[in-house]
């Protein structure tokens, strides 16, 4: 993995040998999509799925067999009877293509084998679809297509437990040194124990980066409906709020610098909770109050109080004809109708109210937690 040059995050979740899915990874991917620049994924199951769905592998019989072998423990854990049926036929096909005579077989016969191979790939895909879930699969494909995530390669098979665990652990350690690690509880505990036991060494910068990523994870997971939001919706939110993300990141650096532990330590969750209550909630409430104080309707209401009561009748009629005053389009409608009515002074008041509203919105958008506040609102 290359050295991180920006806010590069690495998402990793420990595989559950009973419930093999990527639900946990997808939750962390959504967190990273809102916050990170680039995202690396440590997920052997996602890696195998993408290999299997690569059309090139249906034309390369030997490569397809290697992928089938890596998938075998996953498939059997999901449905042993269906898995055995698939792999009985796959073993038969393996025996066929491994024979020397296959190399000189006519192209027509090889094409027939490849058609059968594609059928079995589709069959295994249907099993994987049930394991990973249609929404997760669609999300993975979308993010890979748009190059928003990079799924790391795995050489070892899940069934080769010792070698696989070593490879998985090595990728965790590598990401710790080269990116912001966004790990589930099991991965974080594993790394924390390895540090305490002196198995791995990390610099102070690595620790600060881990604390930063862990705090980002703690805050983002609190956002409403994040885990249920489609990834395309999250990408839209990120795009809409991109300009305010820099300030939020700067504040996160400041917040995380006061955290003394790292994810996986027993005190880390408590420190995040204390910081949230002490710093984050008051800042969010301040932004909320700021929006209430600077609303267009509120400012315009204050202007009404300055009017002579004898002019209220005609002005109210003009305002009613303008419709709801809650957006720029509403303002423009009212502005036009006020001018038609000849009430230039009232139009001036409306423009002034709208100017104060815009200025208030600008002031709010400069708040360091504006990104976090609006992300929650949009979700």
- From 139, 173, 207, the end of a domain falls on 173
In tens, the pLDDT along 60-71 reads 788 788 888 877
Q: At 261, is the pLDDT very low, low, confident or very high (cuts 50, 70, 90)? A: very high
202 lies in some domain: no
In tens, the pLDDT along 23-36 reads 888 999 999 999 99
302 lies in some domain: yes
> What is the rounded CA–CA span in Å between residue 92 and residue 94?
5
User: Nearest Cα to 15, choosing from 222, 176, 139, 157?
Assistant: 157
Region of poorest pLDDT, from 63-77, 122-136, 262-276, 319-333: 319-333
Strand partners, 183: 12
- From 146, 173, 200, the end of a domain falls on 173
In tens, the pLDDT along 195-223 reads 989 999 999 999 999 999 999 999 999 99
Rg (CA), the chain: 29
> What is the rounded CA–CA span in Å between residue 47 and residue 55?
15
Indicate yes or no: pTM above 0.85.
Answer: no
- From 123, 157, 173, the end of a domain falls on 173
In tens, the pLDDT along 331-363 reads 444 444 444 443 444 444 555 555 455 555 556
Backbone angles phi, psi at 22, to 5 degrees: -120, 30
Distance of CA 307 to the CA centre of its chain: 51
161 lies in some domain: yes
247 lies in some domain: no
249 lies in some domain: no
Q: What's the number of domains the chain is made of?
A: 2
What per-residue confidence (pLDDT) applies to 269?
Answer: 93
Range of the domain at 133: 8-173
Together in a domain, 302 and 164: no
Strand partners, 151: 41
For range 153-159, the mean pLDDT: 75
Instruction: Classify residue 313 by burial, with Cβ atoms within 10 Å: 0-12, 13-18, 19+.
Output: exposed
Q: Which residues contact 375 (CB under 8 A, 6 or more apart)?
A: 34, 223, 237, 241
66 lies in some domain: yes
> What is the rounded CA–CA span in Å between residue 217 and residue 259?
14
Give me the DSSP letters along 81-139: HHHHHHHHHHHHHHHHHTSHHHHTS-HHHHHHHHHHHHHHHHHHHHHHHHHH-HHHHHH
41 lies in some domain: yes
* HEC string for 163-199: HHHHHHHHHHHHHHHHCEEEECHHHHHHHHHHHHCCC
Give me the DSSP letters along 287-347: HHHHHHHT-HHHHHHHHHTTS-GGGHHHHHHHHHHH---SSHHHHHHHHHHHHHHT-HHHH
Average pLDDT along the chain: 78
279 lies in some domain: no
* Residues 144 and 154 sit within 8 Å (Cβ to Cβ): no
């Amino acid at each position: 993995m290359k050295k991180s040059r920006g806010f590069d995050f690495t998402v990793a979740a420990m595989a559950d040998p009973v419930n093999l899915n990527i639900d946990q990874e997808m939750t962390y991917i959504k967190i990273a999509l809102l916050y990170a620049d680039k995202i690396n994924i440590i997920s052997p199951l996602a890696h195998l799925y993408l290999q299997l769905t690569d059309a090139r592998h249906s034309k390369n019989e030997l490569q397809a067999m290697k992928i089938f072998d890596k998938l075998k423990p996953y498939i059997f854990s999901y449905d042993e009877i269906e898995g055995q049926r698939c792999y009985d036929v796959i073993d038969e096909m393996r025996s066929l293509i491994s024979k020397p005579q296959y190399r000189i077989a006519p192209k027509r016969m090889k094409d027939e084998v490849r058609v059968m191979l594609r059928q079995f790939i589709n069959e295994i895909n249907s099993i994987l679809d049930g394991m990973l879930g249609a929404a997760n699969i669609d999300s993975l494909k979308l993010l890979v297509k748009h190059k928003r995530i990079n799924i790391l390669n795995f050489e070892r098979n899940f069934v080769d437990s010792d070698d696989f665990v070593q490879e998985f652990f090595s990728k965790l350690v590598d990401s710790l040194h080269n990116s912001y690690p966004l790990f589930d509880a099991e991965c974080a505990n594993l790394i924390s124990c390895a540090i305490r036991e002196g198995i791995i060494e990390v610099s102070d910068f690595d620790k600060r980066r881990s604390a930063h990523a862990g705090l980002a994870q703690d805050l983002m997971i609190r956002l409403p409906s994040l885990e249920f939001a489609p990834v395309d919706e999250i990408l839209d939110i990120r795009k809409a709020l991109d300009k305010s993300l820099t300030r939020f990141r700067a504040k996160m650096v400041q917040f995380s610098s006061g955290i003394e532990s790292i994810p996986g330590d027993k005190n880390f969750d408590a420190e995040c909770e204390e910081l949230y209550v002490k710093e984050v909630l008051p800042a969010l409430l301040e932004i909320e109050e700021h929006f209430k104080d600077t609303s267009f309707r509120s400012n315009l209401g204050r202007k009404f109080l300055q009017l002579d009561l004898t002019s209220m009748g005609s002005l109210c009629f003009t305002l009613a004809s303008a419709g709801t005053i809650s957006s720029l389009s509403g303002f423009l409608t009212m502005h036009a109708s006020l001018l038609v009515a000849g009430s230039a002074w009232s139009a001036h008041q409306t423009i002034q109210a709208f100017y104060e509203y815009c200025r208030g919105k600008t002031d709010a958008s400069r708040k360091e937690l504006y990104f976090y506040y609006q992300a929650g609102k949009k979700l």
